[in-house]
């Protein structure tokens, strides 16, 4: 079996979606990439979590050809691959329909950076992509979903805001590896929940000032970080 370690990581990350209450039934998938070989391990499509194993993760190349695996890969594979091709720092990608984040995506609204919980992980609002056009939906839908995500990210550093809302759909998050991408999926759901409650209490709440965003993001990330043990 190729890439046993990556398979193990991707399998465990998929199982963790359940541990963190991010999925109902099979509504979520995680992938991970081995940059050396350019191979991606991803959850098979529509398989229940209890039946997953490191062995039945599907290996595909960056063009979507199945390299190893008897099952069909996730129906969202083309979205994952588009992101891996565009952004070299992404090591893992997660897609869920977690409840609060999906509600923001359905409402077509970015999640504002309302507090330090958000700023500890996301260096700005979590954007909501534009709706796909009729043509983008009809042909190569999953690929176009990836393209719209890439268009929304634009020139910003995707690793500084490691998640996005796909409008009328649900969130995608990413990270340096599959585990880190799941971590960010949990954070998106938690800040989506807090932001929801914040605007209910005070609909005119403004995002936090740049100085506070800098302070919290940079105490956890970059060369001057001082949070944690490193």
Footprint of a copy of itself on this chain (CB under 8 A)?
24-25, 27, 44-47, 71-72, 75, 97, 99-100, 102-109, 114-117, 131-132, 134, 137-138, 141, 168-170, 183, 186-187, 190, 193-202, 205, 208-209, 211-212, 215, 219, 226-229
Query: With respect to a copy of itself, which residue has the nearer C-beta, 54 or 115?
Result: 115
CB of 107 to a copy of itself, least distance (A): 4
Task: Identify whether the C-beta of residue 206 lies closer than 8 Å to the C-beta of residue 131.
Answer: no
Q: Could you tell me the strand order of the sheet in which 28-34 lies?
A: 66-68, 58-61, 39-42, 28-34, 92-96, 170-175, 163-166
How distant is the alpha carbon of residue 26 from its chain centre?
16
- What minimum distance in Å lies between the beta carbon of 161 and a copy of itself? 18
Question: Among 98, 90, 77, which Cα is nearest to 17's?
Answer: 98
Hey, how many other C-beta atoms are within 10 angstroms of the C-beta on 171?
28
Measured torsion, CA atoms of residues 203, 169, 174, 136, in degrees rounded to the nearest 10: -120
Q: Which positions are catalytic?
A: 120, 227
**Contacts of 146 by beta carbon, 8 Å cutoff, 6+ apart:** 78, 79, 80, 81, 82, 83, 86
Q: Work out how close the CB of 201 gets to a copy of itself at its nearest, in angstroms, rounded to a whole number.
A: 4
Q: How far is the CB of 8 from a copy of itself (least distance, A)?
A: 20
Helix (H, G, I), strand (E, B) or coil at 110: coil
Judged by beta carbon, residue 34 or residue 131, the one nearer a copy of itself is 131
CB of 200 to a copy of itself, least distance (A): 7
Q: Which is nearer to a copy of itself, 75 or 156 (CB)?
A: 75
Token pair in block for residue 228: 């944690």
Q: Which is nearer to a copy of itself, 147 or 183 (CB)?
A: 183
DSSP character for 55?
G
**What region, left, alpha or beta, does residue 25 occupy, with left being phi > 0 and alpha being psi -120 to 50 degrees?**
left
- Residue 36 or 223: which CB sits closer to a copy of itself? 223
């Amino acid at each position: 079996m190729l890439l046993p370690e990556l398979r193990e990581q991707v399998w465990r990350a998929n199982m963790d979606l359940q541990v963190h209450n991010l999925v109902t039934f099979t509504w979520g998938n995680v992938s991970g990439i081995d940059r050396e070989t350019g191979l991606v391990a991803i959850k098979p499509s529509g398989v229940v979590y209890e039946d997953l194993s490191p062995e039945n993760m599907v290996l595909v190349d960056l063009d979507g050809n199945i390299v190893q695996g008897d099952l069909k890969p996730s129906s969202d594979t083309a979205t994952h691959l588009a992101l891996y091709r565009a952004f070299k720092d992404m090591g893992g990608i997660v897609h869920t329909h977690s409840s609060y984040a999906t509600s923001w995506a359905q409402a077509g609204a970015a999640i504002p950076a309302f507090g330090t919980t958000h700023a500890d992980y996301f260096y700005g609002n979590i954007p909501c992509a534009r709706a796909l056009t009729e043509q983008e939906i009809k042909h190569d839908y999953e690929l176009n979903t990836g393209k719209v995500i890439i268009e929304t990210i634009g020139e910003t550093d995707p690793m500084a805001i490691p998640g996005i809302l796909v409008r009328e759909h649900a969130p995608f998050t990413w990270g340096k590896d599959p585990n880190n991408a799941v971590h960010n999926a949990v954070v998106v759901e938690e800040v989506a929940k807090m932001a929801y409650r914040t605007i209910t209490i005070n609909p005119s709440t403004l995002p936090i000032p740049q100085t506070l965003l800098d302070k919290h993001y940079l105490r956890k990330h970059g060369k001057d970080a001082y949070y944690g043990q490193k």
